[in-house]
A = this chain, B = another copy of it.
Amino acid sequence: MPTDTNRQWILRSRPDGEPTMENFELREEPIPEPGPNEVLVRTRYMSVDPYMRGRMRDAESYANPWTIGDPMRARVVGEVVESNDSSHRSGDIVTGNLYWAEYATAPGAVLDRVETGSAPISTALHILGMPGLTAYVGTVEVGHVKPGDTVVVSGAAGAVGSVAGQIARIAGCRVVGIAGSEEKTEWLTDELGFDAAVDYNDDEFHAELARASPNGVDLYFENVGGEVSDAVLDRLNDYSRVAVCGKISLYNLDPDDERMRGPRRLYQRTRTRVEGFIVSDHDHIAPQATERLSRWVESEQLHYRESVRDGIESAPEAFLGLFEGENIGKQLVSM
């Protein structure tokens, strides 16, 4: 709710292993004033994403680490409250890379008008935003999804995985999701149209996965890493592809942790191609992909779900919950 103050989360310290509340500090400051060509945005929805764990680390990554004492960054959908930039007006809904904050100023040029058609504005943070584009890039551009493929998606009930599986379904594949609860697996099969979904907590996980992929695996959309992935990698077919979107189960592990060791794989016999990708390298296909995703959402070929926590104060719990698999669909923070 609008007040005179702006609350925002600061990176207080870097996590050692699993992040804790000690790593975050909620700071109150006056609402900032927009400078020339700047816009003041009130956050309506803020995205928390697994990649943020990498930004909390003090190590080289594909983006610079966050600085201790600085506000933490996030993709946000918000409302323009005040504008000194001719391309944005008060009341406009915009999206941009802003902060874990109730308010933020930014140059108008780095904000995009939210165009979701008939979909809710929050979808600009998932199915019609970066996670949806990531799913498209991973399946289509990196994974070269083909009709008739058996496609396995781990983290299948997450913001990216749930879209990746549905794109594969639209592409004429047999789609198998892996997730961590019965509620999730039921959502995948009953609402999203996955052909099968397997719970990795199930004692019979390996056997269930084999039953769900009787002809082996042609494309594995990798979100989790670790032993869940091992089960899939054991089933790869000739000319199989592994699109490495992320490995959330490894992000909080120390390099010396025993769980950071796993089976060495040959990959040669099956001519498997394993490829790590980052969505921002594929910006050139964003317009085409977003147009298709929008169309599929409108025609109800693509479904989504949001897990929403309310209030800026809940942002760290929302983020930490990602590593516990608490979210179904996209985890958001509303305010």
- Chain A interface size band reads 20 to 34
Q: Is the CB of A276 within 8 A of B271?
A: yes
Per-position binary interface string of chain A over residues 311-328, scored 1 when its CB falls under 8 Å from any chain B CB and 0 otherwise: 000000000000000000
Among A245, A266, A268, find the residue whose CB has the most chain B CB atoms closer than 10 A. Answer: A268
Whether A187 sits at the interface, judged by CB under 8 Å, is: no
- Contact stretch, chosen from A74-82, A123-131, A257-265: A257-265
**Which B residue's beta carbon lies closest to that of A241?**
B275
- Find residues 21-74 in chain A having any chain B CB closer than 8 Å to their own CB: 54, 61-62
As for how many copies of this chain the complex holds, the number is 2
Q: Is the CB of A268 within 8 A of B281?
A: no
Q: Which residues of B contact A271 (CB under 8 A)?
A: 62, 275-278, 281
Whether A12 sits at the interface, judged by CB under 8 Å, is: no
Shortest Cβ distance from A151 into chain B, in angstroms? 18
Q: Which residues of B contact A62 (CB under 8 A)?
A: 238, 269, 271
Q: Is the CB of B273 within 8 A of A274?
A: yes
Q: Is the CB of A264 within 8 A of B54?
A: no
Q: Which residues of B contact A226 (CB under 8 A)?
A: 264
Q: Is the CB of B266 within 8 A of A277?
A: no
Q: Which residues of B contact A260 (CB under 8 A)?
A: 263-264
Q: Which residues of B contact A281 (CB under 8 A)?
A: 271
Shortest Cβ distance from A176 into chain B, in angstroms? 22
- 7 A-B residue pairs with Cβ-Cβ distance under 8 Å, sorted by A, are A226-B264, A247-B264, A260-B264, A261-B261, A261-B263, A268-B276, A272-B274
Which of A's residues lie within 8 Å of B, judged by CB?
54, 61-62, 225-226, 238, 244-247, 250, 255, 259-264, 266-278, 281
Closest 3 CB pairs of A and B: A268-B276, A267-B276, A274-B274
